[in-house]
A and B are shown apart, each in its own frame.
Chain A
Amino acid sequence: MKIELDRPRCEGHGLCEEAAPKLMHLDDDGELVIDVPEVDGSELDTAKAAVRICPVAALRLAAA
């Protein structure tokens, strides 16, 4: 699965980074960087948690 970001909707709340620090991070300007865009196995559950926790629904998982 692929992690997709709706960039204009992202406001940098950073909850996804807390849920999945190995998959994504906020850079020095507070912009979200998806470090591991394609996920499977145990990473998929972590990615799902990050998608779920976004308070403005800016993240989603799509078929790779």
Chain B
Amino acid sequence: VTAPIESDIDIWDDAILIDPYPTYAALREQAAVVHLPKNDLYVLTRYDAIRDALGDPESFSSTSIGFNPMVNEALQGTSLASDPPVHTQLRAVLSQNLTPRALRGLKVTIDEKADKLVGELADSGSFEAIDSLARAFPIEIVADLIGFKGHVKDNMLRWGQAAMQVIGPLNQRTQESFPIAGELYGWCSSVTAEDLTPGSIGRGIFDAETRGEIPEGAAGHIIHQYLGAGVDTTIASIGNIVALFGRHAEQFDLVRANPELVPAAFAEVLRYWAPVHIWGRKATRDVEIDGVTIPAGAQVGILFGAGNRDPRHYENPDTFDVARNPVDHLSFGYGPHGCAGQGLAKLEAHAVIEALARRVQTLTVGDEVREPSNITRSIEKLQVEKVVAA
């Protein structure tokens, strides 16, 4: 066993957050696990190491998914921050309304909404893609699904962004976001069935609580997780779809000519630009990976985007190729904590890609405007300077 391999970077440095891929490549070439003393953190950089860790909750605990003690404390009792066997029960309640079988009935509505929205944008000549599509679409879908109305719907974007931001270390971004994340936390602690639309999934969770299927007070936690995990990440991936199709016109043409490529194209968008930059685990024992030891108790950071570009796993990993179909990409995580909302994310994103392929002939996009963000990597503004309707 050799001494840990170190790098003196700050993984939350503004420039790295804006474009992490050169840093990911350098870290990945150093080792599968690299110690970052500045962040008091061991990062996993290669595909196999990341997947093995995600599949091994006994060695890599989720009690420290966040990078500051306050957020880990606040997440206690959620499935996100639990380990088996407690996790198994919490996860079952969280996911029962999100499984592909539960969502099957929503497909027609989601497809129609995407077609209408994208059709209007395609006819408009030019548009700003983040506010008018990447944010507008998932916020409407999730609000209708969970039953949010009024001021809650208006707050979904800032609450969802803050809920992810505070998972970072105690830097300025985290500190500025804590009061906003606190608003969400406060609302979720006091929300009642009557605050949610009758017939919604949110109402159904309160019904389950009334029936005693989940512990008293658990409904608010679950609604918190739907909002915290399901908004900012989906927004990122839909913005990335538009930006990558704009940058790679020949790839968009391939999807337009072959609509059966839609699921593969979304998998490639997720692989190429991971919506989540880093996610935490705690080593429960000394874990050796490729000769480097992560000491028991150490904070671990999983770099999904680094694993997704690992040339040991994907050929020409820095090429955006919609025909690649990388179904085993790491952007939804993997294993017991694998993204519970991936069925909904796919419904939404496939609907958007299908609508773009049907309604749009060409897209000319400006440069992506990005702002550094601790956990989610998403585009802040993206001007579609010219769109030609199909």
Contact = CB atoms under 8 A, between A and B. Distances in A.
Contact of A55 (B92, B101, B104, B342): B342
B55 A8 contact: no
B288 to A, nearest CB: 22
Interface string A6-17: 001101111100
B53 to A, nearest CB: 12
A55 B100 CA distance: 13
Interface string B315-355: 00000000000011000101110111011000000000000
A9 B88 contact: yes
B335 A57 contact: yes
Contact of A53 (B88, B327, B336): B327
A14 B102 CA distance: 13
Nearest to B56: A57
A29 B338 contact: no
B99 A52 contact: no
A56 interface: yes
Nearest to B55: A57
Interface in A1-54: 8-9, 11-15, 18, 26, 29-31, 52-53
B95 A11 contact: yes
B100 A13 contact: yes
A57 B88 CA distance: 13
Contacts of A56: 334-336, 338
22 contacts: A8-B88, A9-B88, A9-B336, A11-B98, A11-B99, A11-B340, A11-B343, A12-B99, A12-B101, A14-B100, A15-B327, A18-B327, A26-B101, A30-B99, A30-B104, A31-B101, A55-B334, A55-B339, A56-B335, A56-B336, A57-B55, A57-B334
Task: List 6 A-B pairs, minimum CB-CB distance, nearest first.
Answer: A30-B101, A57-B335, A11-B99, A55-B338, A12-B101, A56-B338
Given A56-B336, A56-B338, 16 more contacts: A8-B88, A9-B88, A9-B336, A11-B99, A13-B100, A18-B327, A30-B101, A53-B327, A53-B328, A55-B332, A55-B338, A55-B339, A56-B335, A57-B55, A57-B335, A57-B338
Interface of B: 55, 88, 92, 95, 98-102, 104, 327-328, 332, 334-336, 338-340, 342-343
